[in-house]
Structure 1
Amino acid sequence: MSSADRQRWDAKYSGKSVAGELMPNGWLLKHIESLPRGRALDLATGLGHSAIELARRGWEVTAIDISPMGLQIAAESARRWGITVQWIAADLDVYPLPRDHFDLVTCFYYLDREELPLRVVQSLRPGGMLVFETYTLDQLRVPGNHLTNPDHTLRPGELLTMFSELRVQHYRDEVLPDRAVASLLAQKVASGSASIRDSVSGAG
């Protein structure tokens, strides 16, 4: 990303208010009880709802976003909930992620297909989990769609390819009433173990 990206996201968040009600990602909530507690990293956290929910449930959370404005609102929301999160304003294109450090990495509606997948895998501890969701190409045909660039969406099966080193536990690629998404829950296996697809389906 660039300074222009930061300014664009700051402008988007400038009219937002502190959360009166948390709205964490639904795919995360669906699987949250099965996830290992410990250190969590929320990438492109935005207004921080998923990060705050994880911290509220006992994770030690680091949340990264390019927008200082978004993080300012997220931090105030966390204070109102009495929650502590480490908020980091940084460009994920260049920010170094620690290796073998996190028990959980989450990423919602941010797509970097070039370098981020490898860095995410490296940042997970063996046994650590990835929860990922973003738009697919079908989003361009959803009524009310706000996306215009197909490069910002996933092709069929692309998410599985991006994280082929991980053991897939649940996966879906479907058109929901308000959006078209691919969603993944996957685990980092011990070094030398083959990746295994345990549950790959259209509905997850």
Structure 2
Amino acid sequence: MSDRGPVTDNTAETPAPELPRAAADGHTGYDEDNARDGYDGYVGDPAVRAEWDDRYADRHRLWSGRPNGALVAEVAGLTPGRVLDVGCGEGADAVWLARGGWDVTALEVSGVALERAAGHARDAGVAVHWVHAELTEAALPPASFDLVSAQYPALLRTPGAAAERALLAAVAPGGVLLLVHHAGMDTRQTHDGGFDPAGYVWPSMVAALLDDDWRVEVDEQRPRVAPEGGAGTHHTDDLVLRARRLR
């Protein structure tokens, strides 16, 4: 989900470490062999997948094809390790991270987006593990990623804060959660397109769950460094939450 956000303008997609429904039949995510066989192992709500497939299918390229500016800035001082890219979209962030030496797992609900992302990775000559699932349904190993990156994710809010807790649960001790979203969207009114900000997860909701096991390193609004081209470029400011898991 390279510069992606909620349905109002574009994920990302990132999961609770619970076993998904697909684990019972041996399928836990997306890979090209499964896709060629007509089964891509999607785990999640079919309506969510269909919604995002339709959005991607409407355009040859939805996003800019360049990594998100906040990701580039915040990762600059980190030592490459295992990274989870939540809502990877067409793969710009995943490819950039892989080129930088990261071991990348990229999660996305849209099969259309994943096919494009896999193609970009092949063209770039990098390896990425693709997972076709909703965050809260993916069979991700808990506490195992040195970086969990969620750039403008369209994560649905639930009474039990499942998506928020899934983001936190994926981070390894000593690792970093980087959550970036469009400033101001969380306070918008419901509009004719049906977007209701109360239905989505925002950085403040994740920050509210942080306890003494976490240290907040960045929690601010800043001007957005937006990739040129693609949807969402009209947003001018970012909300950036960067927190490190201490134990």
TM-score by length of 2: 0.66
Name the amino acid aligned to 2:181.
Answer: T
Name the structure 1 match of 2:221: 173
Given the superposition, is the C-alpha separation of residues 174 and 57 from structure 1 closer, same or farther in structure 2, using an over 3 Å criterion? closer
In the TM superposition, what is the alpha-carbon distance from 1:174 to its structure 2 partner? 5.3
Q: 1:152 to 1:137 in 2, by over 3 A?
A: farther
Q: Which residue of 2 aligns with 1:93?
A: 136
How many positions carry a matched residue from both structures? 188
Q: Is contact 1:135-1:154 (8 Å) kept?
A: no
1:147–1:78 distance in 2 versus 1, CA, 3 Å:
farther
Hey, what does 2:103 align to over in structure 1?
60
Q: Is the 8 A contact 2:65 2:90 kept in 1?
A: no
Separation in structure 2 between the aligned mates of residue 88 and residue 167 of structure 1, nearest angstrom: 29
Report 1:26-41 matches (<5 A): 26-41=69-84
Partner of 1:3: 46
Bigger CA drift: 51-60 or 117-126? 117-126
How far 1:62 moved relative to its partner?
Answer: 0.4
Once the two structures are TM-superposed, the CA of residue 65 in structure 1 deviates from its matched residue by 0.7
Following the alignment from structure 1 to structure 2, what is the Cα–Cα distance between the partners of residues 53 and 37? 12
SS at match of 2:136: coil
* Cα gap change, 1:182 to 1:154, in 2 (>3 Å): farther
Other structure's SS at 2:137 match: coil
- Describe the superposition over 1:133-169 as per-residue Cα deviations: whole angstroms up to 9, x where unpaired: 123544666xxxx883122456794342144452111
For 1:105, the equivalent position in structure 2 comes to 148
Deviation at 1:94, TM superposition (A): 1.6
Matches of 2:51 and 2:57 in 1, distance apart? 10
Q: Deviations over 1:9-42 (max 9, x none)?
A: 1111114446997321211111121123111111
Give TM-score, length-normalised by structure 1. 0.78
Q: Report the equivalent of 2:88.
A: 45
Is the contact between residue 63 and residue 86 of structure 1 (CA under 8 Å) also seen in structure 2?
A: yes
For 1:43 and 1:156, the matched residues in 2 are separated by 14
Distance in 2 between residues matched to 1:115 and 1:36, nearest whole Å: 29
Aligned to 1:74: 117
> Gaps spanning 5+ residues in structure 2: where?
1-43, 225-233
Matches within 5 A, 1:78-157: 78-110=121-153, 111-113=155-157, 114-138=161-185, 148-152=195-199, 157=204
**Aligned mates of 2:62, 2:195 — CA distance in 1:** 28
Contact kept? 2:186, 2:202, Cα under 8 Å: no
Q: Is the 8 A contact 1:136 1:153 kept in 2?
A: no
What SS class does the counterpart of residue 10 from structure 1 fall into? helix
Give yes or no for contact 1:49–1:74 (8 Å, CA) kept in 2.
Answer: yes
Cα 1:180–1:20 change in 2 (3 A) is closer
Question: Can you list the C-alpha shifts for 1:45-69, whole angstroms capped at 9, x where unaligned?
Answer: 1111111111010001000111111
Cα 1:180/1:33, change in 2 over 3 Å: closer
Q: 1:90 to 1:158 in 2, by over 3 A?
A: closer
RMSD: 3.0
CA distance in 2 between partners of 1:175 and 1:102 (Å): 28
